[in-house]
């Protein structure tokens, strides 16, 4: 206990050392990260996991206490981000708004998106609307952090105020800045999605698993973000631990791909797999066709232009687009492969409501690819025809 007013102001009731404060800070910020990634993101925005009511309400309370974010608003803004990704309507695309803006002013962009009330109502359906949400969490959203400030000061004195300030900056920096900014700007990609989402690191624990952002954009409704053997998602580890004690129920995970041998033509299983994991085909095309052909030709190409070959050049600026087209004009084999890639992307992106029409287009693409005389393209077509889904285990 503090012996004097000065002692209380310096260290509060607990009088902690700096080591204790550091441990406390790491624990409470990790709880906040879990509240965002497990509850707001995976459970509410994407419905990939359900939590026991006690756990779900603890996350709601902790989010209110430590961030002032409202569940319905957060879920709506995130759902809109997926629906309008990398367009003018995306709430926080670094491709549109600039990386510096999203990285340093991500919290401002979030506050601006909150003011779009029609979007909040449109995209925020299905979020909690009980008595405590209507009477406390939504109308008094800023009361939580204010209460936390007084608690922190009472426990730790002015040191607690510093800890509180770090807590207040934690989510705006790591989630709104790093994930929304760098997660669409820098990193590696497992899947050639139609946006620029990247995985920041394969060992995702500091931000609850959100570092595996490309995986998430490829399979938004999956509760598990780690999709390759060397990747680790601490959020998924936590979900499975809660599931073992009956406090969580996994609803959906990303489907796995099986490749059947000796399939003569694409069939309903092929189409079903492509509809579920359409980004896998474009990823395989780059890895199995484009890259090997580049290596065989001993052709060097800047990394930015190589990425343009992988995603069709969608995110290249005008100058880079011109350089890529000029390079392709000098490389007829690579130009031919780029054309085949564009045709396949069109088949997968412009899916008809009539499955037979889509299947016919896929048949035609495979037949043309196998008559091209390009070995890598022929082998890829054979692989593509054998696509099938492995039944998901949750």
Tens-digit pLDDT profile for residues 353-377 = 678 888 999 999 999 999 999 999 9
Give the H or E element holding residue 378.
helix 375-385
Residues 6+ apart with CB under 8 A from 11: 2, 156, 157, 159
Query: Tokens 């309507």, residue?
Result: 89
Does the pLDDT value for residue 1 go beyond 60?
no
Q: Residues 292, 376: contact at Cβ < 8 Å?
A: yes
Query: Tokens 């392709």, residue?
Result: 328
In sequence order, what E strands does 81-186 have?
A: none
Q: What is the pLDDT of residue 7?
A: 83
Q: What is the pLDDT of residue 246?
A: 98
Q: Residues 207, 97: contact at Cβ < 8 Å?
A: no
Q: Which residues of 50-78 are buried (b: 16+ CB within 10 A; e: fewer)?
A: ebeeebbeebbebbbbbbbbbbbbbbbbb
pLDDT tens, position by position, 6-50 = 888 888 899 999 999 999 999 999 999 999 999 999 999 999 999
Does the pLDDT value for residue 269 go beyond 80?
yes
Give CA–CA dist 260/128, Å, rounded: 44
Regarding pTM above 0.85, the answer is yes
Give CA–CA dist 351/124, Å, rounded: 28
Give first-to-last CA distance, the chain, whole Å: 50
In this structure, what DSSP letter does residue 392 have?
P
Does the pLDDT value for residue 67 go beyond 80?
yes
Q: Residues 227, 213: contact at Cβ < 8 Å?
A: no
| Band of pLDDT at residue 300, cut at 50, 70 and 90 | confident
The average confidence (pLDDT) of the chain is 93
- Pairing outcome for strands 256-259 and 387-390: antiparallel
| Band of pLDDT at residue 5, cut at 50, 70 and 90 | confident
In this structure, what DSSP letter does residue 200 have?
S
Give the count of alpha carbons within 13 A of 283, CB side only. 16
């Amino acid at each position: 206990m503090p012996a004097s007013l000065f002692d209380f102001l310096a260290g509060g009731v607990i009088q902690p050392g700096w080591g204790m404060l550091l441990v406390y800070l790491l624990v409470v910020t990790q709880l906040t990260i879990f509240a965002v990634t497990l509850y707001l993101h995976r459970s509410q925005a994407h419905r990939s996991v359900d939590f026991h009511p006690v756990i779900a309400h603890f996350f709601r309370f902790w989010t209110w206490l430590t961030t002032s974010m409202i569940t319905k608003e957060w879920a709506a803004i995130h759902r809109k981000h997926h629906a309008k990704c990398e367009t003018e309507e995306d709430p926080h695309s670094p491709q549109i708004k600039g990386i510096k803006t999203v990285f340093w002013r991500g919290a401002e962009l979030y506050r601006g998106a909150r003011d779009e009330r029609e979007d909040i109502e449109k995209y925020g359906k299905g979020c909690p609307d009980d008595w405590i949400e209507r009477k406390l969490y939504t109308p008094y959203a800023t009361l939580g952090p204010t209460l936390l400030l007084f608690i922190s000061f009472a426990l730790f004195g002015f040191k607690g105020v510093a800890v509180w300030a770090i807590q207040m900056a934690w989510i705006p920096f790591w989630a709104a800045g790093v994930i929304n900014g760098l997660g669409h700007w820098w990193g590696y990609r497992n899947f050639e999605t139609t946006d620029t989402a990247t995985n920041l690191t394969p060992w995702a624990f500091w931000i609850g698993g959100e570092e595996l952002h490309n995986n998430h954009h490829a399979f938004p409704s999956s509760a598990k973000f780690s999709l390759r053997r060397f990747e680790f998602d601490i959020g998924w580890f936590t979900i499975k631990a809660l599931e073992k004690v009956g406090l969580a129920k996994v609803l959906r995970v990303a489907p796995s791909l099986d490749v059947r041998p000796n399939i003569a033509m694409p069939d309903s299983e092929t189409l079903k797999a492509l509809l579920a994991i359409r980004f896998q085909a474009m990823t395989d095309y780059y890895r199995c066709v484009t890259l090997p052909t580049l290596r065989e030709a001993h052709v060097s190409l800047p990394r930015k232009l190589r990425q343009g070959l992988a995603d069709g050049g969608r995110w290249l600026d005008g100058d880079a687009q011109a350089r890529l087209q000029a390079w392709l004009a000098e490389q007829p084999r690579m130009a031919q492969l780029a054309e085949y890639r564009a045709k396949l992307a069109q088949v997968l992106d412009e899916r008809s409501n009539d499955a037979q029409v889509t299947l016919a287009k896929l048949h035609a693409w495979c037949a043309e690819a196998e008559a091209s005389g390009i070995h890598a393209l022929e082998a890829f077509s054979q692989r593509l025809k054998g696509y099938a889904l492995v039944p998901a285990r949750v």
